[in-house]
Amino acid sequence: MKVTFLGTGTSQGVPVIACQCDVCKSTDSHDRRLRSSVLIEVGGLKIVIDPGPDFRQQMLLHDVRSLDAILLTHEHKDHIAGLDDVRAFNWMTKKPVDVFAEQRVLQAVKNEFAYAFVERPYPGVPKINLKLIDEQAFKINGIEIIPIRGMHMKLPVLGFRIGSFSYLTDFNYIPNASLNKVRGSQVMVINGVRKEPHVSHFSLSEAVEVLQKVNPPRGYITHISHQLGRYAIENPLLPPNIQLAYDGLVVECE
């Protein structure tokens, strides 16, 4: 399995518009972050988790020419805004793209992109097959996907485990039952927005604490804001098996 970090930033990305902080002015490519998303290539499939506002740019940067499925963690705009650009894949492959999410999230997609779901849609709208999931494991062409429940303040969200790879973003609480589902992961990704506490996201120290409970061989922090600090300064301070993810990072696992 090959996992590419398409984006590792928060809803504002990094640099933040008009901000003049040290991180936003950094010339280090590790400090430039598009909205959080990953591309998973496994079993001949290409799966994207969370096509946010930078989806088009991310697909072009990584020369992605086909897409088999999309998994949505939740309905916030920085995780679904790019769905309209699925139409490019529709055009090239001559088929719709399957989008998997909970009922509440599917309804939000219908509301946000209503023009794609009317009885007689305008030519060129994205062709999306909405696929209902819950907390039960499901399969895409034989590849098992295990949803992982967490909370994003008051909003229930889903992470996903595929094989030995687990991806959790926008969590600020994870129950023990969910921790048990990710144990044994070779690679685990979790959000850590900044050093200071945050009302709806794990802080860096909280994310590290969760990773140390699970103790995967490789742990990565994503959904990083400009408030966390510069990569070159902060990354060396983390435990040996934990790193700050960055845009374009590629990891492989079973």
Per the CB < 8 A criterion, the answer to whether 187 and 221 are in contact is no
- For tokens 């590629």, the residue is 250
Q: Is 83 left (phi over 0), alpha (psi -120 to 50) or beta?
A: alpha
Interacting residues of 138 by C-beta distance below 8 A, sequence separation 6+: 100, 144, 145, 147
Tell me the whole-structure pTM to 2 decimals.
0.97
Domain count for the chain? 1
**Host H or E run for residue 112:** helix 103-112
pLDDT tens string for the chain (254 positions)? 999 999 999 999 999 999 999 999 999 999 999 999 999 999 999 999 999 999 999 999 999 999 999 999 999 999 999 999 999 999 999 999 999 999 999 999 999 999 999 988 888 899 999 999 999 999 999 999 999 999 999 999 999 999 999 999 999 999 999 999 999 999 999 999 999 999 999 999 999 999 999 999 999 999 999 999 999 999 999 999 999 999 999 999 98
Q: How far apart are CA 197 and CA 226, in angstroms?
A: 14
CATH number at residue 70: 3.60.15.10
pLDDT of residue 123: 86
CA distances 192 to 43, 60, 229, Å, are 30, 27, 12
Domain boundaries, position 214: 2-252
Positive/negative CA dihedral, 158, 254, 41, 245? positive
- For tokens 């290539």, the residue is 41
Q: How far apart are CA 188 and CA 209, in angstroms?
A: 13
Distance between alpha carbon 64 and the CA centroid of its chain, in Å? 16
Q: DSSP labels for 164-194? A: TEEEE-S-SB--HHHHHHHTT-SEEEEE---
CA distances 221 to 164, 199, 243, Å, are 17, 18, 6
pLDDT of residue 122: 86
